[in-house]
Amino acid sequence: MSADARVRICSLVGLVLLLRAAVGAAAEGERQPRFERLENGLRLGVVEERGSPLASVQLWFEVGSAADPADSLGLCDVTRRVLAARGEASERLTAAGGRVESRTLKDACYFATLLPNDRVQLALEAEAARMKRLSASAEAVAAAVATMQRESAAAGGPGNGAARQVAGELFEGHPYGRPAFAEDSLPRLTADAVNDFARRWFIPGNALVLVVGDVDAEATLARMRELFEPLEWRQPPHVREAPLPEPGAASPATQDSPAGDVTIAWLTPPARDLKNAAIDVLMHRLCNPVDGPLARRLAEMGYAPPRWRREQWRSAGMLVLETAGSAEARAAVTEEIERAVKGVPNEIELNRARALARRGRLWSRADFGRRALQLGWWDIVAGDLLLDDFERAAIRRLPVRDVQAAAAGLLHARQVVVSHREAADRDQPWRAGSAGPTAAQWEAALQAFETPRSIEGFDVEVKELRPGLRVVLKRVPGQEQTVIGTKITATAMQAQAMSALMAVGSELHTVDEIRDYLTYRASEIYPFVNRRTAGAEARPSVQAGLLAFGPSEYAPQLIELQAELLRRPQTSPQACARAAQLRQEYAESLRLAIEAGEVAAYVPDGFIGLTEFSPAHPETAEAIRKALTALQNIDEVEIIAIGDFSREDLLSAVEAAWP
């Protein structure tokens, strides 16, 4: 047997063992997938997730904007919008306590409802009605077109700026490179066109109905059969897949742009390809601010950290990196990728990159609704919902050779370089990126932090450990990422200290040491100051504190680290002066970003976590020192934990951190 054959056999055996491990974990844990296909072609799926009071009912169609005719861009989205408004289903489900969501992706459309387990029947009935033969009126289509135009204008126009320019050049001649819609297509988005498109694509043979939650699979499938079997069968569409562009450079090198930014984009594998996990680890290895060689080189040149994201679809993917536009910065990108082909990172560097890649997966599964929706995406777009488990398991043990192969693949992949300034687009929950949570995720976490008793109907335990120290525990089975909040009843001066903590660290650990610790453990910490609502009673104190996110196994350590920062902040003159300087620099960068229509989405050097400033926050070194010193007198503390954690471990950590 040849050496190559032995390598192939060993690789296959390893793949089978990993897949068995992922399937075994699913069988023992939250995920019990059951699928069947009806005679009309519709696929039914049920995933049992025990312990959740909620259920997710989803209707997916294997058609997205990539299926639009070239002269009718936006037709799929308009059809989906007409179906979303059909029969006022969304209003009825919302009135029943559901949260309704619908979107058009490149390869798929979905309608999803998150609601209590005992109301699954209502959502299934709504989706069965939605799947009946469509006969849209001209008024309904006009309303859908108008909504699409308004949303497109709010997002920056049909092409969505330079982001679409990059995709257009990288996927030249391919549907993935086309904008979501075009103004000259509007006259062709008629009721007849929508009805014809729906009759071709929005049919049972091209769809999946998926239920995720603490439900009985047999009983749920039986009810689904009753509702969906009467739907008529129609021949599923057969479409030849468009060929992807050839590898190699797709555009000539952009001219040196020292005052602006450039976007470099590479063609990457499709969603089902496990090489994407290696690409994520590679990019975190190169770009992370603690020990990333590319981030370090750019910082030495005086440039901001590089920002990157990866998008993946059924037939291909795209890696996008934004950095400074100078020739030296662009050369650094190429050189560091070349070094990664042969370089061998040490164990700490590789583990940090793995942890950061894992953090991205945790954010995509941060709550039940998003976990459930992601399962539908993996099945429809990637081809198998178990790939989600498999990819996350693969990241934990990804070998160096796979990271090296990912770097080599980028060197030979199709590439474009475009000069511009535009914020990264991370609106899809399954996109990977170098930043922390998106604005929507951050706001959802803040809401959970402020109102822990209303989180998705889960039981809450409130425990008074001693006068002035209270713990609120909300266990969410299956939620791998735990939210830890330490709230204090703060004076105005103490509240001002929260953002300063991100730049000074503690008496025991420097900012760099804490950031090193957090990134290695796929965790993050942010400051929090409660915003008073209009009409609220004036109070001499506010709610303030620190908010942390990380894998459940690190929840006790996050509690201890928050207590260390709040109880023992670093107040030396040098630290406070440095914090004042960083505050001024960061505030200026935020001002410039806002003027450019961007949002600074990364944690800048010198800070533990992403922060925000207002005129009330201390600006001078002396003001920062006074605010931090005020933390010596903390009267009331509330620790909030949301996730799938060990109750005993958390209570022990709180008692040790707040004696």
- Evaluate whether residue 117 is within a structural domain: yes
Within 10 Å of residue 598's Cβ, how many Cβ atoms? 15
Cβ distance 493 to 625 under 8 Å? no
- Scanning 291-423, the segments in alpha helix (DSSP H) are 293-300, 327-342, 347-363, 368-377, 386-396, 400-412
The Cα 310–Cα 323 span in angstroms is 15
What residues have CB less than 8 Å from 355, skipping those under 6 apart? 519, 520, 521, 522
Residue 424 CB contacts under 8 Å (≥ 6 apart), including other chains:
163, 307, 308, 309, 320, 322, 433, 435, 601
| C-alpha distance from residue 428 to each of 80, 90, 260, 313, 497 (Å) | 18, 21, 26, 12, 34
Question: By three-state DSSP, how is residue 190 classified?
Answer: coil
Check residue 411 and give its pLDDT. 95
Residues (pLDDT < 70) of the chain are 1-32, 155-162, 248-260, 366, 420-458, 531-541, 589-604, 610-618
Residues 6+ apart with CB under 8 A from 240: none
CA distance linking residue 166 with residue 322, whole number of Å: 11
64 and 178 housed in the same domain: yes
One domain, residues 183 and 305: no
In this structure, which amino acid lies at residue 65?
S
Is residue 585 a contact partner of residue 592, using CB atoms and an 8 Å limit?
A: no
Query: How many other CB atoms are found less than 10 A from the CB of residue 543?
Result: 20
246 domain residue, yes or no:
no
> Which candidate, 111, 116, 81, 79, places its Cα nearest to that of 96?
116
Q: For position 612, what pLDDT does the model report?
A: 61
**What's the per-residue H, E or C state across 108-163?**
CEEEEEEEEHHHHHHHHHHHHHHCCCCCCCHHHHHHHHHHHHHHHHHCCCCCCCHH
Same domain, 325 and 454: no
Do residues 388 and 374 make contact, with C-beta atoms less than 8 angstroms apart?
yes
Question: 205 and 296: one domain?
Answer: no
Give the residue numbers spanning the domain of 512: 440-531+538-657
Q: Are residues 411 and 557 in the same domain?
A: no
Q: Do 405 and 450 lie in a common domain?
A: no
Domain termination residue (choose one: 210, 228, 246):
228
Q: Is 159 exposed, middle or buried (0-12, 13-18, 19+ CB in 10 A)?
A: middle
Q: What is the pLDDT of residue 416?
A: 92
Question: Distance between CA 575 and CA 526 in Å, rounded?
Answer: 19
User: Could you tell me the pTM of the whole model?
Assistant: 0.83
* Other CB atoms within 10 A of residue 66 CB: 22
Strands 415-420 and 461-466, bridge-based pairing: unpaired
Residue 97 has what pLDDT?
Answer: 85
69: tokens are: 């005719």
Q: Residue 113 contacts by C-beta under 8 Å, 6 or more apart in sequence?
A: 56, 57, 58, 93, 98, 99, 100, 101, 123, 126
Measured distance CA(15)–CA(17) in Å, rounded: 5
Q: Is 238 inside any structural domain?
A: no
> Whats the size of the chain, residue-wise?
659
Give helix then strand counts, H and E, for the chain: 22, 17
Q: How far apart are CA 322 and CA 351, in angstroms?
A: 24
Phi-psi region of 252 (alpha: psi -120 to 50; beta: other; left: phi over 0): beta
**3-class secondary structure, 528:** strand
Buried b (16+ CB within 10 A) or exposed e, 312-328: bbbbbbbbbbbbbbbee
Please report the pLDDT score of residue 644 as a whole number: 86
Task: Judge whether 494 and 627 are in contact, CB under 8 Å.
Answer: yes
Residue 431 lies in a domain: no
Number of alpha carbons in the 13 Å side-chain half-sphere of residue 321: 30
**At residue 486, what is the residue type?**
T
- Three-state DSSP state, 615: coil
Cross-strand partners of 638: 470, 487
Question: Which pair of tokens denotes residue 579?
Answer: 């914090």
State whether 263 and 203 are in the same domain: no
Contact at 8 Å (CB) between 656 and 477? no
Q: Which residues contact 566 (CB under 8 A, 6 or more apart)?
A: 486, 488, 501, 545, 546, 631, 634
Tell me, what CATH number does 384's domain have?
A: 3.30.830.10
Q: What SS3 string covers 230-257?
A: CCCCCCCCCCCCCCCCCCCECCCCCCCE
Tell me the three state secondary structure of residue 590: helix
Residue 136 lies in a domain: yes
In a shared domain, residues 506 and 375: no
Residue the block writes with tokens 């001499």: 540
- C-alpha separations of 281 from 286, 352, 358 in Å: 9, 9, 9
pLDDT at position 248 is: 66
Indicate if 411 and 496 belong to the same structural domain. no
Q: Are 129 and 261 members of one domain?
A: no
317 and 218 housed in the same domain: no
Same-domain check for residues 495 and 355:
no
Domains of the chain: total? 3
In a domain, 508, yes or no: yes
Q: Report yes or no: 325 and 337 within 8 Å, Cβ to Cβ.
A: no
What letter represents residue 636's amino acid? Answer: E
Phi, psi (deg, nearest 5) at residue 314: -65, -40
Domain boundary among 420, 449, 482: 420
* 241 belongs to a structural domain: no
Q: Is residue 7 part of a domain?
A: no
DSSP secondary structure of 160-189: TTHHHHHHHHHTTTSGGGS-S--GGGGGG-
Q: What is the 3-state secondary structure (H, E, C) of 251-304?
A: CCCCCCEEEEEEEEEEEECCCCCCHHHHHHHHHHHHHCCCCCHHHHHHHHCCCC
61 and 207 in contact (C-beta within 8 Å)?
yes
Alpha-carbon distances of 638 from 295, 387, 589, 635, 644, rounded to whole Å: 37, 39, 34, 10, 19
Strand intervals (E) in 434-540 = 461-466, 469-475, 481-490, 524-529
